[in-house]
Amino acid sequence: MAKKKDKKAKKKDKASKAARKLELKVVAKKKAKAAGKAKSNGIVAFKRSTKPWGQDGKALDGVRILDFTHVQSGPTCTQLLAWFGADVMKVERPGVGDITRGQLQDVPNADSLYFTMLNHNKRSITLDSKSKQGMKVLERLVQTCDVLVENFAPGALDRMGLTWEHIHTLNPRMVVASVKGFGPGPYEDCKVYENVAQCAGGSASTTGFHDGPPLVTGAQIGDSGTGLHLALGIVAALYQRNRTGRGQRVLASMQDGVLNLCRVKLRDQQRLAHGPLKEYTQYGQGIPFGEAVPRAGNDSGGGQPGVILKCKGWETDPNAYIYFITQAPVWEKICDLIGEPGWKTHPDYAKPPARLPRLKEIFGRIEQWTMTMTKFDVMNACNALDIPVGPILSMKELAEEPSLRESGTIVEVDHPTRGKYLSVGNPIKLSDSISEVTRSPLLGEHTDEILSKVLKFTPREIAEIKASGATGEAPKAQAAE
Ligand code: CAO
């Protein structure tokens, strides 16, 4: 009898457990529904927005960034994140701010274009991180933000007291992202600027003409290029945090970033072991190759030979040139266009391998043709036949190009102390997260707003912080205390 009762109780218990499980499932489902989420295949799928495209916030809405960056590499990264909707709070040294505010100044007493063009859509708070009150504010920022981005010299963040361990204890969800000159290794403690990275990352040794010295490029591949790499690392870390609930460190070294952009040159280094690089002009000139990838002048990096050719007006206009590519599939059209129809069948010119030792002669003949027209006329004539060419556009021409204004790639921004200026807007276009470019902040413009509204310090605490001089020069009466 007792056994029967026991069995009955167990059955009841099992049933109530199952009911509880079901109840929990229903509650979870209701909760998920209320939060606009539905679970399918273990992946949380959010309810689809019914708002028109581009009018349902921004991709990184709700992400708070403690922006501890300066100069170019770090600010490029945080500016991109700000354009995607992140709330970027730039921490700057009281009285001075980011060193670039005062560098290459064109308008007296106004933030330089160097600064304004790299710090759009951000807020600025001034803070002496080496003071006790300053550190108190910084720690609150760490607890409040999702990401800390910095590009100080190696060890500077640790010296401030913001070690990874300390940050991770204060906020286990925080992503800590850094730009450094070099990754771990013999040079990890070095300070690095743009051109140092271009030289150390393989760009300079492969840029220039084979009989000239190494050259750096105008594109800021060390600074802005690494900032771009870092931004991708941050977004990836935030995505992983959705699953793991923890932050992580993100490191983008400038040498690594440049080398990544020079990937095709490492490709050629290995090809060199199997013979000369036939698409390099020096091959056709009979100039022997050495042990390392040489500078290729304006030769095309890929398998489609190309060079820069003169156009009408080159004698006086330094940019009256065009990049011309002798792409194999359109070779016959090129022959007709330049008035050499015989080359279409001639054994020395008809096939790509036969042309390789004769590239100098071939491009010389094409140049005779391009010199009879402006670069834009050459472009029109070639584009009509699907022949890939690129006019050498000056910064003046780019600044005045209407299509770049229309797409928001070149924008006019108004600034309270310097007036209107041109900037490059967000080069990455998202169809449901539209970027608007707003002016860069004045030094410490948002200190009060961030202390009270974001960090929720009480008026008394704010007065205490300010009196200590941590956010700038302390009010005279208190400073004397
Ligand atoms: N309050 C108090 N101190 C602050 C501060 C603040 N708000 N912000 C910065 N500082 C301090 C730092 O703590 C550091 O102090 P210590 O040297 O005593 O630790 C000091 O300012 C200077 O920082 P830094 O060494 O980074 O600056 P620098 O001008 O000497 O060097 C640079 C600049 C770019 C060479 C170096 O930061 C660097 O190598 N960064 C990494 C690579 C990089 O991003 N390079 C790209 C630069 S863009 O061309």
Ligand 1 probe mutation, 66, 152, 158, most atoms within 8 A of CB: 152
* Predicted pLDDT of residue 16: 59
**CA–CA gap between residue 25 and residue 7 (Å, rounded):** 27
CA-proximal residue: ligand 1, atom 47 (nearest): 193
Cα of 155 vs centre of ligand 1, distance in Å, is: 10
Cα of 177 vs centre of ligand 1, distance in Å, is: 15
Q: How many CB atoms lie within 10 A of CB 335?
A: 22
481 residues of the chain, pLDDT tens digit each: 445 555 555 555 665 565 556 555 555 555 555 555 555 565 667 789 999 999 999 999 999 999 999 999 999 999 999 999 999 999 999 999 999 999 999 999 999 999 999 999 999 999 999 999 999 999 999 999 999 999 999 999 999 999 999 999 999 999 999 999 999 999 999 999 999 999 999 999 999 999 999 999 999 999 999 999 999 999 999 999 999 999 999 999 999 999 999 999 999 999 999 999 988 888 888 999 999 999 999 998 677 899 999 999 999 999 999 999 999 999 999 999 999 999 999 999 999 999 988 988 999 999 999 999 999 999 999 999 999 999 999 999 999 999 999 999 999 999 999 999 999 999 999 999 999 999 999 999 999 999 999 999 999 999 999 999 999 986 554 433 3
* Predicted pLDDT of residue 423: 98
**CA–CA gap between residue 329 and residue 367 (Å, rounded):** 20
Q: Does the active-site annotation cover 223?
A: yes
Looking up tokens 């006790």 gives 132
* Predicted pLDDT of residue 43: 61
Of the candidates 111, 128, 146, 223, the residue annotated as catalytic is 223
Residues in contact with ligand 1 by the CB-under-6-Å rule are: 71-74, 91, 93, 127-130, 151-153, 156, 159-160, 179-181, 191-194, 223
* Predicted pLDDT of residue 284: 83
CA-proximal residue: ligand 1, atom 30 (nearest): 153
Of the candidates 394, 334, 416, the one whose C-alpha atom is nearest the C-alpha of residue 367 is 334
Asked if residues 255 and 196 have their Cβ atoms less than 8 Å apart, the reply is no
Backbone CA torsion sign across 292, 298, 303, 305: negative
DSSP code string of 271-339: HGGGS--TTSHHHHTTPPP-SSPPP-TT--SSSS-EEEEE-TTTTT-TT-EEEEE--GGGHHHHHHHHT
Q: How many CB atoms lie within 10 A of CB 347?
A: 7
Going through 28-156 in order, the beta strands assigned E by DSSP cover: 37-40, 43-46, 64-68, 87-92, 122-126, 147-150
* Predicted pLDDT of residue 481: 32
| Minimum-distance ligand 1 atom for the alpha carbon of 192 | 39
Written as one letter, the residue type at 73 is: S
Asked if residues 434 and 411 have their Cβ atoms less than 8 Å apart, the reply is no
Written as one letter, the residue type at 109 is: N
